[in-house]
Amino acid sequence: MPTILPADAEGRARAVELLRAGRLVAFPTETVYGLGADATNETAVAGIFAAKGRPRFNPLIAHCASLEEAQEHAHFPPAAARLAAAVWPGPLTLVLPRRASSPIALLCSAGLDTVALRVPAGPCAHGLIRGLGRPIAAPSANRSGRVSPTTAGHVAEELGEAVALILDGGPCTVGLESTVVSLAGDEPLLLRPGGLPPAAIERWLGRPLRRPEADAPLASPGMLASHYAPERPIRLNAAEVRPDEALLAFGPRVPPGAAFTLNLSDSGDLTEAAAHLFAALRAADRAPVSAIAVMAIPEEGLGLAINDRLRRAAAPRG
């Protein structure tokens, strides 16, 4: 089993030592647990792809300590700077034109002329980046395509000794990955819904977010059709449930008959449901069932991100 330490000052100091040595460290953010490496170390970044079994064409997010640090690595148009100042630190990733002078490993950008940047919230992530003095590349700390981790235990189950150290900061508060928006072109694009509702971003930008074309290159994580998947098949928008299924319920009215039931939110609260989603998927996947049924989730606010993850989890697997 990998080493697990509390995400306190002593644990962070040990994590920084390992990151400087080119090792991989898992740590909590407000969204999910990240699998971190020194973003300027090409070999260390390659280690992320190896540990996750991640396709090399799928870009990584580089986590920075501040907007000012992020501006050293990308060109920020005025709208991007205003949005970042309003939201960071927080669950928003911006895809922007990369500066030629940026030392972030080209592998993070997967051959594109853009770079994905975020300033995460929380003392652990912030302390690690400050301690390292460089951005940290950190996708979710799980095997590629699998359910994202929201506790240190999830990381240990997924990656084992492929990670040198796991910092345990308890369950993640948001529970969904960051929203990803590209401001690299003429119009803002919503590449991935996430922990910050698109409507809030549109209010700050003063204009709508477009969706990328179906055949557009992968500009950020989370754009693969099949992603966030448990081992068992998923059936969406379930109004009834079979006795051989696990049920992820939502709201006070739950159909009976499931072999195993977890309610994402008894009260129908989308924020609570988002925080519980990945842990509930993992628990349902461990139950002695043949499939997982999921009740309908409203397509509004954080429900957009929840349904995005569920559709990708239920997508056919190649």
User: What does the pLDDT look like over 182-228, one tens digit per residue?
Assistant: 999 889 999 999 999 999 999 999 999 998 766 555 555 555 555 66
Residue 270 counted as domain residue: yes
Do 174 and 301 belong to one domain?
Answer: no
Q: Which residue has the tokens 């991007």?
A: 80
Do 201 and 261 belong to one domain?
Answer: no
User: What does the pLDDT look like over 38-65, one tens digit per residue?
Assistant: 999 999 999 999 999 877 677 899 999 9
Q: How many CB atoms lie within 10 A of CB 114?
A: 22
Q: Which range marks the domain in which residue 141 is found?
A: 3-205
Residue 137 counted as domain residue: yes
pLDDT band at residue 244 using 50, 70 and 90 as cut-offs: very high
Q: Global pTM?
A: 0.87
Do 238 and 123 belong to one domain?
Answer: no
Lowest mean pLDDT among 47-61, 75-89, 232-246, 284-298: 47-61
Residue 210 counted as domain residue: no
Do 27 and 83 belong to one domain?
Answer: yes
pLDDT band at residue 262 using 50, 70 and 90 as cut-offs: very high
Strand extents, DSSP E, 105-264 = 114-118, 136-137, 165-168, 179-182, 189-192, 234-235, 245-249, 260-263
Q: What SS3 state is found at 309?
A: helix
CATH number of the CATH domain containing 267: 3.40.50.11030
Do 42 and 161 belong to one domain?
Answer: yes
Residue 228 counted as domain residue: no
Boundary-marking domain end, from 187, 205, 223: 205
Euclidean distance between CA atoms 102 and 220, whole angstroms: 18
**Complete edge-to-edge strand list for the sheet that includes strand 260-263:** 234-235, 291-294, 245-249, 260-263
Do 15 and 80 belong to one domain?
Answer: yes
Q: What SS3 state is found at 85?
A: helix
Q: Which residue has the tokens 């998927």?
A: 281
For every residue of 212-247, DSSP letters joined together read: PPTT----STT-SSS-SB-SS-EE-S-SS--TTEEE
State the virtual CA torsion across 217, 129, 102, 18 in degrees, nearest 10.
-90
Euclidean distance between CA atoms 95 and 192, whole angstroms: 11
CATH number of the CATH domain containing 194: 3.90.870.10
Structure tokens at 214: 């179906």
Do 13 and 148 belong to one domain?
Answer: yes
